[in-house]
Structures are given as C-alpha cells and as structure tokens.
C-alpha cells in the first residue's frame, strides 16, 4: 500500500479529524455522565504522560485541556487518514473501520505501554467506546459525501 501525500487532502482530512474528535467528545460526555465510561482514554493518557498536571489546574479548566489534547490526537489521526490511498478512503466501510482501529491501537498499544488500567470486561463501556470511535471514523471519512466530492 502506497501512502499519498497530497497537502490539500491531508489538510481537509485533518480538519475532519478535529471535527470528528469534537463530535466524539460530545458523545463521550453523554456516555461518561451515564456512567457507561469510567475514565476517558484522553484523560487516562494525560494522567500518565503528565502526572499531576490536571490536579494543578483549576477544576473548571481541566475539561478544556482534555478537549484540546483529544482534538490534537483527532487532527493527527485525520491527517493519517488523508494519507491513505484514495481508493481506500472512498470505500464506505473504511472510515468506521479506521475509527475502530484507533480504539484497538489504544487497547493493544498505547494503554499497555503507559500501564493504563483497562476495563475490557465491561461490555457497556466497550460498546460506548466502540460507538464513539465508529462516529469518529464516519466523520473523518467525510460521508455521506455529495457526489463529485
């Protein structure tokens, strides 16, 4: 598979990645407030990479930092999606699969590397996390897209 480095495509995909992460954050807020998700992956990662940072911040500023970190990750993942070959990006199933692949990479790569405790046996949490990563993939893929785009 040969990656594509079209600047315009990568910028558009990066923007969609940020918007997708924003949409995902909204869904995550709902699932967290319903106690379906105990701690969001962005919060868990930030707590491991910058221990004590959230505790040193005013409580009202913490959500903004978490959102910015998540949107930055969404931007990066969006740019990476934009580098996929066009014949893959145009397939309807690739976006949702890409979103789920990001979740799987968290579970098998990021979380173990940072020694983040995971609740893999909590079916409700895993369904909620899968749903918001499917949403990310749908938005980052830019569909449903009008004909000719």
Condensed to tens digits (0 to 9), the pLDDT of residues 52-75 reads 998 898 999 998 999 999 999 999
Find the domain containing 29 and state its range. Answer: 7-141
pLDDT digits (tens, 9 = 90+) for 129-143: 999 999 999 999 987
Residues 8 and 142: their CA atoms lie apart, in Å, by 14
The verdict on residue 70 lying in a domain is yes
Burial tier of 20 (Cβ tally within 10 Å: 0-12, 13-18, 19+): buried
pLDDT digits (tens, 9 = 90+) for 101-128: 999 999 999 999 999 988 888 899 999 9
Domain count, the chain: 1
The verdict on residue 148 lying in a domain is no
The verdict on residue 34 lying in a domain is yes
Q: What is the pLDDT of residue 149?
A: 52
The verdict on residue 65 lying in a domain is yes
pTM of the full structure: 0.89
Q: What is the pLDDT of residue 148?
A: 58
pLDDT digits (tens, 9 = 90+) for 17-56: 999 999 999 998 899 889 998 878 888 999 999 989 988 9
Q: Helix, strand or coil for residue 34?
A: coil
The verdict on residue 129 lying in a domain is yes
């Amino acid at each position: 598979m040969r990656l594509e480095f079209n600047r315009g495509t990568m910028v558009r995909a990066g923007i969609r990645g940020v918007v997708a992460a924003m949409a995902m954050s909204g869904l995550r807020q709902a699932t967290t407030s319903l106690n379906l998700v105990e701690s969001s992956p962005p919060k868990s990662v930030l707590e491991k990479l910058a221990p004590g940072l959230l505790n040193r911040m005013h409580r009202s500023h913490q959500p903004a930092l978490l959102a910015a970190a998540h949107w930055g990750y969404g931007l990066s993942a969006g740019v990476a999606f934009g580098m996929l070959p066009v014949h893959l990006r145009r397939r309807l199933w690739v976006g949702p699969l890409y979103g789920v692949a990001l979740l799987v990479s968290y579970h098998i790569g990021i979380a173990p590397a940072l020694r983040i405790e995971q609740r893999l046996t909590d079916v409700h949490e895993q369904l909620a996390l899968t749903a918001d990563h499917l949403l990310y993939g749908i938005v980052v893929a830019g569909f449903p897209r009008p004909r000719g785009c």
